[in-house]
Amino acid sequence: MPTILVADDDANIRELVCLFLRNDGFETVEATNGKEALAVYAKAPVDLVILDIMMPVMDGWTLCKELRRASPDLPLLMLTARGETWEKVKGFQLGTDDYLTKPFDPLELTVRVRALLKRYRIGSTQSIKFGNIVLDRQTYKVTDGTKSYTLPLKEFELLYKLAATPGQIFTREQLIDQIWGIDYAGDERTVDVHIKRLRERFASTPDFHIETVRGLGYRIEVNE
């Protein structure tokens, strides 16, 4: 059973979130601030973290950064009382996977938690399949039914990164750091160029499309 760490200094919010999560079949552990959350995470296996931004001792920004540094593949869902674009951008730059603004519908929260856990399981495999499309990370090939594509390495890595977590928004800065490396000397336009090439290459496939999220970055949407 997945265990969810809920980090929020508001006892009422923690109680509400944990109640709905437990009713949905999850186990929960709690923390009242970022420092306490790191201590809990170090002691017990956690499958996903829900964290508030405004916490004492250590805020959600710092907690997000520390958790992402410790575990690049740990799903993170950030909560905030405000929904301004700059906060979303900062959250994604620090490594959060999803974002929910207070007040929120607890049912939507549990749906997002399940979606993140599903994305994580997909992202930890060596192949991804949706519709007729298969991405094989061992051979760096993409197959579409009987058709096979051999992509340039960076194009494949970019497509795989987006496809591993459908619906998740990646900023250009994140994609540069994770695919080209933090020492890359070029600019973020490189991402746009590679996205354009991928869109052109897979323009005829009905299985997915790459969406531009204005002011934030890119995400892949799988067409059911």
CATH number for the domain harbouring residue 204:
1.10.10.10
- Of the three residues 123, 154, 188, the one that is the final residue of a domain is 123
CA distance 21 to 107: 9
Asked whether residue 15 carries a pLDDT value surpassing 60, the answer given is yes
pTM reported for the whole predicted model:
0.60
Note the pLDDT of residue 182. 65
Note the pLDDT of residue 93. 82
- Of the three residues 123, 142, 157, the one that is the final residue of a domain is 123
- Is residue 60 domain-shared with residue 99, that is, in the same domain? yes
Owning domain of residue 151 = 127-222
- Is residue 113 domain-shared with residue 171, that is, in the same domain? no
Note the pLDDT of residue 123. 57
Note the pLDDT of residue 196. 96
Q: What are phi and psi of 142, to 5 degrees?
A: -120, 130
- Residue 51 near residue 34, CB atoms below 8 Å: yes
- Is residue 164 domain-shared with residue 214, that is, in the same domain? yes
What CATH number does residue 32 fall under?
Answer: 3.40.50.2300
Q: What are phi and psi of 73, to 5 degrees?
A: -105, 10
- As a whole number, mean pLDDT of residues 216-221 equals 92
- Is residue 83 domain-shared with residue 47, that is, in the same domain? yes
For 29-85, what is each residue's pLDDT tens digit? 999 999 999 999 888 788 999 999 989 999 998 999 899 888 877 899 998 877 677
- Is residue 7 domain-shared with residue 97, that is, in the same domain? yes
More confident residue, 146 or 195: 195
Tokens of 174: 């994140």
Domain count for the chain: 2
- Of the three residues 56, 90, 123, the one that is the final residue of a domain is 123
Name the 3-class secondary structure at 97.
Answer: coil
Asked whether residue 21 carries a pLDDT value surpassing 90, the answer given is yes
